[in-house]
Structure 1
Amino acid sequence: MSVLEIKNLHVNVQTDQGVREILRGVDLVINEGEIHAVMGPNGSGKSTLAYTIAGHPKYKVIEGEILLDGENVLDMTVDERARAGLFLAMQYPVEIPGVTVTNFLRTAKTAIDGSAPSVRTWVKDVRQSMSNLRMDSNFAERNVNEGFSGGEKKRNEILQLELLKPRFAVLDETDSGLDVDALKVVSEGVNRAKTNTGLGILLITHYTRILRYIHPDFVHVFVGGRIAEQGGPELADRLEEEGYDRFLEPAAK
């Protein structure tokens, strides 16, 4: 069984006010097939955790480890992490002018697998995944995220998730900017990927609405760059009712 382990992770970032420590000792273990929801107020470090796992150069690890099946992820480049089975669905997917969705997906799949997929099988898989996500087939020939609505960008992220078949996915506020219909479609795609591949998921969100469709095994409350509390799905319901005030220091309220 694959496992992603985060041990005593401390991360700094350079700001206009100087170097700031964002993550202050994060410990988290995600096993294959598990869904872990990370919830917390703005500025608590949730996205920093996501981008650190993915390898964004802005975030500097000063202490701790990230291990994927015992291998040190921090020694890997961004593309090596992707080939090892890590995937990040970004909160704000970027536009890539001049690169069509079709070319992007096939190039990414070839890079991750080490060989190009069979054209006939690949075309069939892409069409099926786009149909499942209710994406118009014309999107395949459009440039990546260029002119896409917020919901279309998020569906495109989940399209990549389904086709690239990572072992672990970090979903950074995938629910932001989605209406109810789009939220259901995107959630169905995430659940489908988990069912088909045994995907382990780290789901970052502010709200419980996505948890009505993607049911977490564990919920972690993220405050001040560390996990303040953890429990089962019932913890999310408590957060919905009470908010985060009980976790915040008086000066931070």
Structure 2
Amino acid sequence: MSTLEIKNLHVSVETKEGSKQILRGVDLTINSGETHAIMGPNGSGKSTLAYSIAGHPKYEITDGEVLLDGENVLEMSVDERARAGMFLAMQYPVEVPGVSVSNFLRTAKTAIDGEAPALRTWVKDVKSAMAQLRMDDSFAERSVNEGFSGGEKKRHEILQLELLKPKFAILDETDSGLDVDALRIVSEGVNRVKDNTDAGILLITHYTRILRYIKPDFVHVFVAGRVAEEGGPELAERLEAEGYDRYLQGATA
């Protein structure tokens, strides 16, 4: 059992007008095997939370801490966070021309485990994961995300998730840009990871459609850089019906 604790997290970002506070005291605890959905309107701080935990240099932590099994993640470099068991599926995966998917995946696995995986077992694992994500074998020889469709990029993110087996996965709007078939395939991959590794999942989304496939244990409503309300799956259903107006009316800038 592992635990990820976010305590009183405050985060600012530098803008043309100066430093702007985005997160204003976020508290959230995720345990192994739990799925937490974060929902909220644009600009509420959802992606800022994801990138701050992952270690993006653009975001300045001004207060609070993020603990992974008692160790302060914020004191770790980005690669140390990955080796400790953190994973971020990006909303907009970047292209890496000249680096094949197969080389990228094996290099990442070697860096996280501290040793290269046995080649025969690794090839078998990669092919199996790709098949379950409906990815053709030729995909492994393409350059990372170069010329990929939106669905291919998101499936590649979940392919990494399945092979790297982190303790905690942060999925930043993994459902954006996906058609119904791709959404179902990606969701099935996330569910396999949770079932097979007992990973904790932090799922950031605007919409409830992905929650029909990935059932959350907890739902957190983000407004103006804070958790405005928490509940179970029924909270997501209420948001679908009512929207965020009642939260925004009381939010301060």
Distance (Å, rounded) in 1 between the aligned partners of 2:136 and 2:147: 14
Aligned AA (2:106): R
Aligned AA (1:101): V
Distance (Å, rounded) in 2 between the aligned partners of 1:173 and 1:195: 21
Map Cα deviations across residues 182-224 of structure 1 (whole Å, 9 max, x no partner).
0000000000000000010000000000000000000000000
Q: Which residue pairs with 1:3 in the alignment? A: 3
Q: Which residue pairs with 2:170 in the alignment? A: 170
Residue-pair matches, total? 253
Distance (Å, rounded) in 2 between the aligned partners of 1:15 and 1:31: 34
Q: Which residue pairs with 1:216 in the alignment? A: 216
Q: Which residue pairs with 1:94 in the alignment? A: 94
Aligned AA (1:38): I
Residues 251/163 of structure 1: CA separation in 2 closer, same or farther (3 Å cut)? closer
Distance (Å, rounded) in 1 between the aligned partners of 2:251 and 2:57: 31
Distance (Å, rounded) in 2 between the aligned partners of 1:66 and 1:199: 17
Q: Give 5+ residue unaligned stretches, structure 2.
A: none
Q: Which residue pairs with 2:108 in the alignment? A: 108
Q: Which residue pairs with 1:232 in the alignment? A: 232
Distance (Å, rounded) in 2 between the aligned partners of 1:157 and 1:251: 34
Identical counterparts, % of pairs = 78
Distance (Å, rounded) in 1 between the aligned partners of 2:102 and 2:131: 15
Aligned AA (1:126): V
Distance (Å, rounded) in 2 between the aligned partners of 1:199 and 1:193: 7
- Structure 2 length as normaliser, TM-score? 0.99
Residues 251/25 of structure 1: CA separation in 2 closer, same or farther (3 Å cut)? closer
Distance (Å, rounded) in 2 between the aligned partners of 1:47 and 1:209: 19
In the TM superposition, what is the alpha-carbon distance from 1:17 to its structure 2 partner? 1.4
Distance (Å, rounded) in 1 between the aligned partners of 2:83 and 2:251: 43
Map Cα deviations across residues 123-157 of structure 1 (whole Å, 9 max, x no partner).
00000000000001101000000000000000000
Distance (Å, rounded) in 1 between the aligned partners of 2:16 and 2:91: 23
Aligned AA (2:66): I
Q: CA RMSD in A?
A: 1.1
1:197-216 aligned at under 5 Å gives the runs 197-216=197-216
In the TM superposition, what is the alpha-carbon distance from 1:251 to its structure 2 partner? 8.3
Aligned AA (2:57): P
In the TM superposition, what is the alpha-carbon distance from 1:93 to its structure 2 partner? 0.5
Q: Which residue pairs with 1:248 in the alignment? A: 248
Q: Which residue pairs with 2:79 in the alignment? A: 79
Partner secondary structure for residue 214 of structure 1:
coil
Map Cα deviations across residues 55-109 of structure 1 (whole Å, 9 max, x no partner).
0000000000000000000110000000000000000000000100000000000
Partner secondary structure for residue 87 of structure 2:
strand
* Residue 50 (str. 1) matches residue 46 (str. 2): no
Runs of 4+ in 1 over 2 A off after TM superposition: 249-253
Q: Which residue pairs with 1:179 in the alignment? A: 179
- Structure 1 length as normaliser, TM-score? 0.99
Q: Which residue pairs with 2:121 in the alignment? A: 121
Aligned AA (1:105): L
In the TM superposition, what is the alpha-carbon distance from 1:249 to its structure 2 partner? 3.0
Distance (Å, rounded) in 2 between the aligned partners of 1:3 and 1:249: 34
Distance (Å, rounded) in 2 between the aligned partners of 1:148 and 1:126: 18
Asked whether the 8 Å contact 2:224–2:251 carries over to 1, the reply is no
Distance (Å, rounded) in 1 between the aligned partners of 2:236 and 2:19: 33
Distance (Å, rounded) in 2 between the aligned partners of 1:133 and 1:23: 35
Partner secondary structure for residue 237 of structure 1:
helix
Q: Give 5+ residue unaligned stretches, structure 1.
A: none
Aligned AA (2:105): L
Q: Which residue pairs with 1:140 in the alignment? A: 140
Distance (Å, rounded) in 2 between the aligned partners of 1:173 and 1:199: 18
Distance (Å, rounded) in 1 between the aligned partners of 2:75 and 2:251: 38
Distance (Å, rounded) in 2 between the aligned partners of 1:238 and 1:160: 33
Residues 252/151 of structure 1: CA separation in 2 closer, same or farther (3 Å cut)? farther
Distance (Å, rounded) in 2 between the aligned partners of 1:131 and 1:106: 17
Q: Which residue pairs with 1:16 in the alignment? A: 16
